[in-house]
Chain A
């Protein structure tokens, strides 16, 4: 019997098996890479124009609040919800702010540390004063709590072109001490400290008087209207080129 050809056949059969084994094992421990390149995907920093959406109907607002807050919040007026839409966080996706009250039967859930929303008091965000640019942060105040009967501003951040109507739009905030009437949206041409971009803001009557509620990149802050007016009144300084630094 001729042994040599058999050995050759076995060896020839082994090589492709090993190659297959090698390639299979190599792929097993990392996400499958495809021919798709980094540049072929939408770039992370790329922005698109905000999509103009039809004005919300009362039913749209009711549905959105019910979905995002799972019935824990009640609209102040079921028939005609008080709301305002705009791009509050500057991501080119439409957001909504709705005037609400806590559902008294759901207080524990609203204030639960595992609730899928952030309860926040914008008036407690420390703002730098003109001569106090370095802010010493106070001790961590911990989680804010909603009280029974509070008038609140519920905010749903939009996601993608569908905005706040997107069923996956679950980045939500419940703002305390800044709501007292129907929310409005404005785009202010003058200074709001810590506003990273020219987002829409919410002129509101807060517990500290008239002011503006606005996004600071990570949360909502509140600034009295008097501060804004005073800043607006300052004279403009001339610009001069300098060497790059800092």
Chain B
């Protein structure tokens, strides 16, 4: 080797080593940015399957081959989830409390309550499953509930509903229940709402119930991940006007109810914890009081058959109240799976779906028209062991998991708002009145199982749902969609139908 060349070898070696190191750092940095919330180790995909067939009579470990508790506990006490959990497991590996089982949780989720169980006096349905059963228990709904209210001088005012021949009033909530255990308690939407000397016509809206499949993983998303998505949207110069809003909501089960987290459940992001959500729904949708304030008080006691000042949702022999079983059931649900790959191949739409997926991407990424700016395809949950909202700590089964929700779980105004405010103020007294015309980005996972779209179910086709996207945050993406050729538009719709 020439002497002159030998002189250059050491610095060349140093340079090569530094370049390699740099590339490794950049690669790692890019990965963590592409998949927000990435933990220390490579995240594993969240199990996804429809396993919770509606009906009490079908036991797990039965003819369908599903096992109630799939994960095992290793010697260090960590949950070990099998690689192919969807092959034979009903739940996602969320650890059950002692004595409890996923099947028991499911049966309580599907239990039809009666008045002496605490149902009513006013309610919408007798059971959770009645509003969450599309395809499987926990799925989407074919019912739409009613909410009402009015914005007066820039502040949302809940309706005052008079019942029992004018003797009683129901206040402090926008929900108008459909049913009652007696006629005296039945609610009727008021024709007017009065506040500060003004009388106005109420805003009313219908809302279909949301699917809860995979919500355990959503609960395990770190606040910082959602805020990171928000920051990326709002700072971007390419996605004109898209800037989601994250609101801080109370964790009802936290000590002194002093903990707040980024809202992610409900059409208005009104909850961040599945136990809080279960508590709210049990009172307001079924009329059953439970231990978490403010849901420990009846909406009304007209016609009530249970004793006064008694919480109706009492713990069972395992020490678990119904809301605990609901929360564990929701946390244990697998994510909704996409359309079966074999079906896609057999349909001959594979290439079209791939083209549609490319169009779905964020603005500025290839041919992306911007759907993914809000319908975020992939999120990684916070690492196991950390605390997030109601999950303290996040169990192995839910931590550091890759999910494909196709949502940012933020509130946006695409001019489909319904005028209702459910969280008027934040923990520091900040006003959330601007959420009246905003709706949470609908998660698109499991879309192939649904036949109605948007919050009121008033879009019968995916195209109609896309066409409803308007200003200020949805018009650019709609314009991009309409600029596609008919073939490209169909590619995008085929992709959506595959989710």
Contacts and interface: CB of A to CB of B under 8 A. Distances in A.
A54 interface: no
Given A170-B482, A244-B172, A91 B470 contact: yes
B241 A26 contact: no
A165 B145 CA distance: 37
A57 interface: no
Interface in B1-55: 7-8, 10-11, 14-15, 18-19, 22-23, 25-26, 29-30, 33-34
Interface string B240-252: 0111110000000
A131 B186 contact: yes
B435 A45 contact: yes
Interface in B144-190: 144-146, 158, 160, 162, 166, 169-179, 186-190
Contact of B188 (A29, A112, A130, A137): A130
Given A243-B172, A246-B175, A217 B241 contact: no
Contacts of B30: 25-26, 28-29
Given A41-B243, A136-B143, A196-B418, A239 B194 contact: yes
Given A38-B231, A89-B415, A193 B470 contact: no
A242 B202 CA distance: 18
Contacts of B142: 136-137
Contact of B18 (A14, A31, A197): A14
A114 B486 contact: yes
A65 interface: no
Interface string A16-29: 00100110011011
A185 interface: no
Interface size class of chain A, counting residues whose CB lies under 8 Å from the partner chain: 35 or more
A101 interface: no
B455 interface: yes
B475 interface: yes
A226 to B, nearest CB: 14
Please indicate which of the listed interface residues A11, A117, A118 has the most CB atoms of chain B within 10 Å of its own CB.
A118
A38 B208 CA distance: 32
Contacts of B472: 42, 44-46, 91
Interface stretch (A2-10, A73-81, A175-183, A205-213): A2-10
B174 to A, nearest CB: 6
Contacts of A43: 243, 434
Contacts of A125: 458
A171 B189 contact: no
Contact of A114 (B295, B299, B470, B489): B489
Contacts of A170: 478-479, 482
B294 interface: yes
Contacts of B435: 45
Given A160-B471, A231-B191, A245-B284, A38 B243 contact: yes
A189 B194 CA distance: 14
A246 B280 contact: yes
Contacts of A157: 470
Contact of B11 (A10, A33, A118): A10
A13 to B, nearest CB: 9
Nearest to B10: A7
B457 interface: yes
A134 B471 contact: no
A132 B124 CA distance: 10
Contacts, number: 276
A7 B11 CA distance: 6
A195 B204 contact: yes
Contacts of A41: 234, 241, 243
A68 B241 CA distance: 24
Interface in A133-176: 133-137, 139-143, 157, 159-160, 168, 170-171
Contacts of B145: 133-134
A190 B463 CA distance: 33
B363 to A, nearest CB: 8
B144 A244 contact: no
Interface in A209-234: 216-219, 231-232, 234
Contacts of B364: 31
A89 B206 contact: no
Nearest to B234: A38
A237 interface: yes
A105 interface: no
A33 B238 CA distance: 9
B336 to A, nearest CB: 19
A2 to B, nearest CB: 11
A189 B295 CA distance: 35
B241 A137 contact: no
Please indicate which of the listed interface residues A142, A160, A236 has the most CB atoms of chain B within 10 Å of its own CB.
A236
A59 interface: no
B451 interface: yes
Given A18-B22, A113-B461, A133-B177, A240 B33 contact: no
A141 B475 CA distance: 27
Given A114-B490, A239-B194, A242-B172, A11 B11 contact: yes
A37 B237 CA distance: 10
Nearest to A190: B201
Contacts of A219: 458-459, 464, 468
B473 interface: yes
Nearest to A170: B482
Please indicate which of the listed interface residues A143, A191, A218, A237 has the most CB atoms of chain B within 10 Å of its own CB.
A218
14 contacts: A1-B7, A18-B18, A28-B30, A33-B237, A113-B461, A137-B143, A160-B471, A171-B478, A195-B204, A216-B456, A217-B416, A218-B459, A231-B191, A246-B422
Given A116-B482, A136-B142, 7 more contacts: A31-B232, A31-B363, A32-B237, A120-B464, A217-B419, A236-B199, A240-B160
Interface of B: 7-8, 10-11, 14-15, 18-19, 22-23, 25-26, 29-30, 33-34, 124-125, 142-146, 158, 160, 162, 166, 169-179, 186-195, 199, 201-206, 208, 231-232, 234-239, 241-245, 280, 283-284, 294-295, 297, 299, 362-364, 412-413, 415-419, 422, 424, 434-438, 451-452, 454-461, 463-464, 467-468, 470-473, 475, 478-479, 482, 486, 489-490
Pick the 10 closest A-B CB pairs, nearest first: A246-B173, A242-B171, A134-B178, A38-B234, A45-B434, A242-B172, A133-B146, A196-B419, A140-B451, A133-B178
Interface of A: 1, 3, 6-7, 10-11, 14, 18, 21-22, 25-26, 28-34, 36-38, 41-46, 89-91, 93, 112-114, 116-118, 120, 125-126, 128, 130-137, 139-143, 157, 159-160, 168, 170-171, 189-198, 216-219, 231-232, 234, 236-246
